[in-house]
Structure 1
């Protein structure tokens, strides 16, 4: 009996509910299910940019004289790596707590979709599940991870919203109850 490999791409740590829902999708399969988890490394440069972007005008003017070297980019990068590693560890623990077998987990440092496609091919994945927050604009223009992955893979690609039950997702505008 061959394993049924499922590759998960998650945007943030999965909750217990997320892990139970993922696991429930594969209950009753004859083949043993094995999960491979990918989580993008939090981007230090994006965090610095977002922090600067959230400053009010007077705060931004006050920082104009501050050279970039005063920002400890290495400390921000290390903090990002620690946060991402903690999220990945929590995700694996949540999945295993729901009864899942996790064969591999990794932080993604490149394009999340490219690394997802590579992992699916490496393990001969049977399906992939992408768990993200809602990204309305990206989804509208089909620039979200799930849309990109569907263009590159010939296996089922399921997009779930993190931290929402199946019932909550089904009630949304794109769910089974939507128009």
Structure 2
């Protein structure tokens, strides 16, 4: 049985992200499974602080005005991000499968670890000022709940979260 690496991402994986993930286990025969949450619910305060800390003023205004995506739109966006992420793995010569999951990805991650016996989880996100600082980000929560190693990478960089 081939070991599985679960990849949880909040956005489309860039070629650099896939290269970093694959390089972690260079030469090993692994299965990769990508999970992309459909972002249907946002914590307004957390989103606002993140957006302001990143200089994303237009996004911050949308947050304040309550412009959240409808569930169907959020699911369609997540499906597109998943398809593009799987294409990035294919472009790197690595086969991967994936699934769109609920807004809170931890239950799906927990189920995938249990059902597939995943040996590791890689979480790829943008920096989140409040969640990262107070360890409420996906990677920290996964480390608290799962019995497998969890690596947190910041999207598009080689920085660890």
Instruction: Give the alignment's TM-score, normalised by structure 2.
Output: 0.79
The answer to whether residue 124 in structure 2 is matched with residue 122 in structure 1 is no
2:62 aligned to which of 43, 46, 51: 51
Aligned positions of 1:8-157 closer than 5 A:
8-29=7-28, 32-43=29-40, 46=42, 51=62, 53-54=64-65, 76-102=70-96, 104-157=97-150
Q: For the residues of structure 1 that align with 2:17 and 2:143, how far apart are their CA atoms?
A: 22
- Unpaired segments ≥5 residues, structure 2: 44-60
The SS at the match of 1:129 is strand
Larger radius of gyration: 1
Q: For the residues of structure 1 that align with 2:136 and 2:156, how far apart are their CA atoms?
A: 22
Q: For the residues of structure 1 that align with 2:126 and 2:155, how far apart are their CA atoms?
A: 6
Instruction: Give the alignment's TM-score, normalised by structure 1.
Output: 0.72
**Does the CA contact (< 8 Å) of 1:4 and 1:33 recur in 2?**
yes
Matching residue of 2:50: none
Deviates most, 84-93 or 108-117: 108-117
Q: For the residues of structure 2 that align with 1:52 and 1:35, how far apart are their CA atoms?
A: 33
Q: How many residues align?
A: 146
